Structure 1
C-alpha cells in the first residue's frame, strides 16, 4: 500500500474513532436530558462497532468509512432541508392551532386550496402567526383565537386539568381575550379577523352594557362564526332581526363547555331564549374524547358550581396573554438541534410516505377514515351524560324564566357520503324531544335545498359558507316566530 493508502487508512481510523466518541457523547447527553432508556443502547452498540472497525482490513475500512460518511451527509442534508422548509407533511403539533390550515388534516386543506386556485382564485396561505406579525407591523396588537381545549394537560391516566391557576387553584376560561383583535381562521381563501367583546366572545362591543339579553347562543366553531365574515355568521343573521342577541359560542366547545358557558355568563344575562346549537359532527366526540375527563367541567352537571369567570376578566386576559405569548414564542423557536441529530424530520417524512393512502370515494382516505370514526355510534353512557347536560341547561334557563331551544346542525358528509354521517342523529333528537325542548332541525332545510353541497366552501369538507350560514340563520328566525 502506497503513501496515499496509508494516509487514507489513518484518516479512516480517525473518522471511526471520532464517530465512536460522538456516539458516546450523544448517549451521555440523552441520558442526562431524558433519563436512561433501552432505545439509547443502540447508540452504544454503534460506538462499539465503530471502535472495532479500526481493526478491519485497510481497503474495507476505507471504503466503509467513505460509504458511511457519504450516507450520513446525505441523510443530514435532507434532514436540515426538511427542518427548515416548513413542510406541510409534518402533522400539526402542540401549536397546531396557531398554524394554517384550520383543518386537523393538512391534506384536506391542500385539496381545497387546489380547487380554489384551479379557478384562478387566490388563497391566503399564510399561517396565523404570519397574519399576526403582519398586523402587528401595522401597529395592530393582534392575537390568535384561543379556546378551552388547548388549555388542558393530563392530570392522571384518566383525567385532565387546566394549565391555568388562580389563587393556586385550577381555573378554566371558556372564551378568549377581551377587547382584542382576533385572528380567527381561513377556509374560503381569506382570513377572518374580528374584534372580541368585553368578555372575549364574538360580538359587537358594547352589548354587555345592557346587562341582559333576549337571546344567547351556545355552540362550537359554527356558532362562533368560523370561517365567514363577522356580519355573515348565522348568529349575526339572527341578531339582524333580534338585536339583543349575544353569541357565547366558542371554537372547540362541546356539550360540557357549553353548559359551563351558560352558567358562567348566561345567568347574568337571563335571556328569554337560549339557543343550543348542536353540531352532529363532533359534539359527542368532544364529550367522550376530553370533556368528561375534566373533573372541573363535570362539576357543572347537577350542581350550582361556578368559577365566577364574569367577575375576573382582567385575570383571564392576563393568563391567556401569557399563555399565548409563550406558545407563539415556542412555535417560532429555532429548530431543535436534538431533533436534527435524531433525524426526527426525516423519520416523520418517511413515516408519512409509508402510511400514504390512495383516494377513497374521490376524497383523501384520511378524511374518510376520520368521518367514519366521528360518525360511529356513541357509547350509551355518553348519550346518558349528554341528556344530563342538556337537562341541566334546560333547568338553568328555566330558573330565570328562560327557555332552551335545541338547534341541530348537520355535517357536510350527510350530503356527500350519507353512510358516514352521525349514527346518533335519532338518539340525539329523541333526547331533545324527551326533555320537551323546541327542536330546530337544520338538516330538514339543507336536505330541501336544491344543492346542499353548495352550502360548503367549494363543495368540500369544511364549515358552512356564507350561503349556509344565511340559511341556518333564516330558518332559526322562522322557528322563533312559532314560540
Structure 2
C-alpha cells in the first residue's frame, strides 16, 4: 500500500516536472521565434540589421566612440528613496542619452539643459505653445526625434513645444515638473495620463516627503533650475551604479544559460507577471483616487493662475484595444474620466478618437504587439491632440 502510494507520488512529481520543463522550452522557443519574426519584418522594411543585443552591450560599444554617453534613469527611483535630499525630474543635462529598443533599434536623444528630451533652444523661445508632462509615452519611449509627441506637435503647430515627460513619472512627479519648470509664456499644458500604470506610479510615490511638499505648500520649490550641476552629479553617479548592476547581470546571463533553463527562469517570470496582474485587478483604494484628484485640482489652479489651458490626455494601452489582460488602472477608466470632468478639465480621450477614426490599433504599436507606441502611433495620436486643441 505504501509502495503504491509512493509510486503514484513519484509519477505525479515526474509528470509535473516534465510539464514545467516542456513549458520552459516552449517559452524559450517562442521568444526566439518572436525575435526572428521581428528581425525579418524590420530588415525587410528598413534594409537595416535588427538590433537584438542588450542595452548594456550596445551602451558599452557606443561609449567607446562617445565617452560622454549616458543612459536614462527614472526619476521615480529618487522619489521612493527616503534618503534623497533632492529629487531630479529629468536626466543628465546636455548629454547624448541611450534610451530603449522596442522597434528594432535603440533610441538615442540629446538632452536639453535640464535633462529632458528637447532641442535645448526650445527653452529660449518667448512663447511656448505646448508644455507636456507625463511618463515614458510622453518622453517618446523607443523612438527618436522627430517622432515623439513633442517633436510631432512642434511640426504640426510650427510653434515651440517643451516636453518634460520621463519614464515612470506618475502624477506626483508630473505636478512637481509643472511647479518647477512652468513659465508664464505657456499657452497649453498637456497632462498625459497612461491608463496602464499611472495610478500605480502614484501609489508608489504617495509617501514622498518632498513631492507632498509641492501639494501642501504652494510656495514650495526645490529650485531645480538653479541646481542642475548638483542634479547632474546625482544622476551621473546613479546611472553608473545601475549600469554596473546590468553589466554584472549580463555576464551572469551568458555564463548561466543552462542553469537558467534548469531553474525555470522564464516560467517563474511568467508566473510573476500573472500574479502581479491578478493583484492589480483589485481597484486602487479611495486614498489614491483622492490624491490624484487633489493633484489635478492644484494643477488646474496653477494653470488658471498662469492663464494657461489645461488638457487631460487619456492614453490607451494595447490591452484596451485587444480587450485582454485588463488590470486595476484599466478597469477604472469610467471612474477616472468622471472625476476629471467633475473638475471641469478638458479631456482628450485618445481611445475614443482612434475608434472613431477606425484606425487599426495594431499598426500603432511595435510589430503590432504590446509596448509603447511606434512612429505611426506617436504621429496619429499627436494629430488627434493637435486637432482637439485647435477646436477648443
Question: Which of 245, 253, 263 matches 2:169?
Answer: 253
Question: Does structure 2 retain, via aligned residues, the 8 Å contact 1:161–1:296?
Answer: no
User: Contact 1:140–1:181 (CA<8 Å) still a contact in 2?
Assistant: no
Per-residue CA deviation, residues 276-318 of structure 1 (Å, 9 max, x unaligned), is 0100000001111x11021221221142221010111111112
The aligned residue for residue 53 of structure 2 is 126
What is residue 437 of structure 1 aligned with on the other side? 345
Q: Check if 1:146 corresponds to 2:68.
A: no
**Shift, 1:198, TM fit:** 0.9
Separation in 2 of the partners of 1:223 and 1:214?
Answer: 16
Give, in whole Å, the separation in 2 of the partners of 1:124 and 1:205: 29
- Kindly provide the CA deviation profile for residues 16-39 of structure 1, in whole angstroms up to 9, marking residues without a partner as x: xxxxxxxxxxxxxxxxxxxxxxxx
Displacement of 1:472 in angstroms is 0.7
Distance in 1 of aligned mates of 2:311 and 2:250: 49
How is 1:266-285 mapped onto 2 (pairs within 5 angstroms)?
266=182, 268=183, 270-285=185-200
Residues 135 and 471 from structure 1, CA distance in 2 versus in 1: closer, same or farther, beyond 3 angstroms?
same
* Larger Rg over CA atoms: 1
Counting only pairs closer than 5 Å after superposition, residues 84-233 of structure 1 correspond to structure 2 as 112-117=34-39, 119=41, 121=43, 122-151=49-78, 160-163=81-84, 170-210=85-125, 212-233=127-148
Q: How far does residue 417 in structure 1 lie from its aligned partner after superposition?
A: 2.5
Does 1:459 pair with 2:365? no
Q: Which residue of 1 aligns with 2:386?
A: 477
What is the rounded CA distance, in whole Å, between the counterparts of 2:259 and 2:129 in structure 1?
A: 55
Q: CA deviation at 1:323?
A: 2.1
Superposition TM-score, scaled by structure 1 size: 0.67
Deviations 1:67-116 (A, max 9, x none): xxxxxxxxxxxxxxxxxxxxxx9xxxxxxxxxxxxxxx999976752430
Q: Secondary structure at the match of 2:146?
A: helix
Q: TM-score, normalised by structure 2?
A: 0.81
Pair 1:383-2:292 in alignment = no
| 403-412 or 233-242, which deviates more | 233-242
The more displaced of 123-132 and 394-403 is: 123-132
CA distance, structure 1, for counterparts of residue 258 and residue 79 of structure 2: 30
Q: Take 1:281 and 1:320, find their aligned partners in 2: how far apart are those partners?
A: 27
The correspondence for 1:403, drawn from 309, 312, 330, is 309
DSSP-derived class of the 2:331 partner: coil
For the residues of structure 1 that align with 2:98 and 2:175, how far apart are their CA atoms? 26
Question: How far does the alpha carbon of each residue in 1:180-213 deviate from its partner, in whole angstroms, 9 at most, with x for none?
Answer: 0000110010010110011100011211123652
Worse-superposed segment, 136-145 or 405-414: 136-145
Where does structure 1 lack aligned partners over 5 or more consecutive residues? 1-88, 90-104, 154-159, 164-169, 338-343, 358-363
Which of 321, 333, 336 lines up with 1:428 in the alignment? Answer: 336
1:364-415, CA deviations, whole angstroms, 9 ceiling, x for partnerless residues? 6765555554454221221111100111111111122112110100010011
The change in CA–CA distance for 1:174 and 1:260 in structure 2 (over 3 A counts) is same
Report the CA distance shift for 1:249/1:125 in structure 2 as closer, same or farther (over 3 A). Answer: same
Q: For residue 234 of structure 1, report the CA deviation from its aligned partner.
A: 2.2
How far off is 1:178 after superposition? 0.7
**1:237: Cα distance to partner?**
1.4
Q: Which residue does the alignment assign to 1:303?
A: 217
CA contact (8 A) 1:215 1:273 kept: yes
Task: Give the Å deviation of 1:253.
Answer: 0.2
Distance change >3 Å, CA 414–CA 111, structure 1 → 2? farther
Q: Which has the higher contact order (CA 8 A, sep 6+)?
A: 2
Distance 1:126 1:354, change over 3 A: closer
Report the RMSD for the aligned CA atoms in angstroms.
3.1
3-state SS, counterpart of residue 278 of structure 1: strand
